């Protein structure tokens, strides 16, 4: 059944989530639960990853999209569905529609990563690129729905979507019955609302914690105000949770059932993604790594066992490279130094020899001789180095000073 306004939507119950679980049997994967020894030592309690990054289409979004589309009336299915998304929801709607034999049209921003556009098309959707930001794309999709009769599939603001996402919560309780805390990345709120609905009905003692990026944190403001409050110009590398306003339906559930929504920095997100890749050998997008960022930011604040939901793994390779560099820099594993030296043959080789002695790996060298700020016999060198951490960075700086170099701020 479809609904026209948020106010007319019924609440989501445990029975709805259980019904969604039956509907998704053989469609969505029961994703793995993996332990993290490193985080367990850091937190002082068992920490597990719920690996929705290994779900079909690379995120949890298939669950809700399939339940929503499967619940349409025959005449609604015949009219087709339409969605707007920069990536994960687009792929979830495309695959769900293909599995159910429903035509799907997906509007995506012109700047959406090419791998996500290609994947959405390969799942069978008619992809239309429109607008530079998701808000423009969303408006185009809603206009298309109004003009064609296609059913608009909202990414989070519908009970069927929330019920589908809530099946993640049922799986967590089955895979880790002793769980004490569940940490979930939050954008519009559909995933955490579904998980909280299922978990709190069966285990009200379990603490459910949401995580948002500092630059796109609409929920803390909204919860303080008692109503959804939009954030202007949300900005974060975690595009999967970069949502300017909570959904009306999930907000009510979050308000009633979620224990806390906290924020994390961009540095913490980068470090979390790097940890998932290095320690767990899991490719996770920044939004999916947000629960890990919360654990790294305040490891002593979570009662175990802890389950961190890795909600997605769809990350553009170019963005991945930038994020990994950012994460390594935040951990003191990159060092940029700028210094001046005498412009004479062999001066650069002598400098590099100093760095060799302290085992600093040179990634990039910029050697400038013609800047008007320089003296006649001077050259300026900027070096980008790969180091082993903050202590090694300090050792490199000390070696340069002892060799007579002055580092320029």
Cα end-to-end distance, the chain, whole Å: 63
Helix (H) or strand (E) holding 48: strand 47-51
Active site residue 311: yes
**Cα 288 from Cα 192, distance rounded (Å):** 13
The answer to whether 299 touches 42, Cβ cutoff 8 Å, is: yes
DSSP-assigned letter for residue 360: P
Residue-wise pLDDT for 4-22, tens only, equals 445 566 789 999 999 999 9
Residue 302 pLDDT level (bands cut at 50, 70, 90)? very high
Percentage of the chain exceeding pLDDT 70: 93
Q: Which burial class, exposed, middle or buried, applies to 136 when counting CB atoms under 10 A from its CB (0-12, 13-18, 19+)?
A: middle
Q: Would you list the DSSP string of 330-344?
A: HTT-EEEEEEEEE-S
Greater model confidence, 26 or 405: 26
270 is catalytic: no
Among 97, 222, 297, 311, the active-site one is 311
Q: Say how far apart CA 374 and CA 181 lie, in whole Å.
A: 58
Average model confidence (pLDDT) across the chain: 89
Residue-wise pLDDT for 316-359, tens only, equals: 777 777 777 766 676 667 777 888 777 778 877 888 888 888 88
pLDDT tens profile 180-210: 999 999 999 999 999 999 999 999 999 999 9
Q: Annotated catalytic residue: which of 36, 50, 59, 61? A: 61
The closest alpha carbon to 112, from 136, 95, 79, belongs to 136
């Amino acid at each position: 059944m479809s609904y026209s306004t948020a106010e007319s939507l019924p609440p989501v119950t445990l029975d709805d989530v259980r019904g969604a679980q039956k509907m998704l049997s053989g469609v969505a994967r029961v994703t793995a639960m993996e332990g993290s020894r490193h985080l367990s030592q850091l937190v002082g309690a068992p920490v597990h990853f719920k690996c929705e990054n290994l779900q079909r289409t690379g995120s949890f979004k298939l669950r809700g999209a399939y339940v929503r589309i499967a619940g349409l009336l025959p005449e609604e299915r015949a009219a087709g569905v339409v969605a707007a998304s920069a990536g994960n929801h687009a792929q979830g709607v495309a695959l769900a529609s293909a599995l159910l034999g429903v035509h799907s049209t997906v509007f995506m921003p012109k700047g959406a990563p090419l791998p996500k556009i290609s994947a959405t098309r390969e799942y069978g959707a008619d992809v239309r690129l429109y607008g530079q930001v998701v808000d423009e794309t969303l408006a185009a999709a809603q206009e298309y729905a109004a003009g064609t009769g296609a059913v608009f599939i909202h990414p989070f603001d519908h009970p069927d979507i929330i019920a589908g996402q809530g099946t993640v919560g049922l799986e967590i309780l089955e895979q880790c019955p002793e769980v004490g805390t569940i940490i979930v990345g939050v954008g519009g709120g559909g995933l955490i609302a579904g998980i909280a609905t299922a978990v709190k009905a069966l285990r009200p003692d379990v603490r459910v914690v949401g995580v948002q990026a500092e630059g796109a944190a609409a929920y803390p403001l909204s919860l303080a105000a008692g109503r959804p409050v939009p954030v202007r110009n949300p900005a974060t590398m975690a595009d999967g949770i970069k949502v300017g306003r909570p959904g009306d339906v999930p907000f009510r559930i979050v308000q009633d059932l979620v224990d806390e929504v906290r924020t994390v920095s961009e540095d913490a997100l980068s470090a979390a993604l790097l940890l998932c890749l290095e320690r767990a050998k899991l490719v996770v997008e920044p939004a999916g790594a947000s629960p890990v960022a919360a654990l790294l930011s305040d490891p002593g604040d979570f009662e175990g066992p802890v389950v961190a939901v890795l909600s997605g793994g769809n990350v553009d390779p170019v963005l991945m490279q930038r994020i990994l560099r950012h994460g390594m820099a935040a951990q003191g594993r990159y060092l940029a130094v700028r210094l001046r030296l005498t412009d004479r043959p062999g001066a650069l080789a002598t400098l590099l020899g100093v760095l060799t002695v302290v085992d600093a790996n040179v990634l990039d060298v910029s050697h400038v001789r013609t800047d008007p700020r320089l003296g006649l016999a001077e050259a300026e060198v900027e070096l980008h180095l790969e180091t082993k951490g903050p202590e090694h960075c300090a050792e490199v700086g000390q070696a340069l000073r002892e060799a007579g170099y002055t580092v320029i701020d």
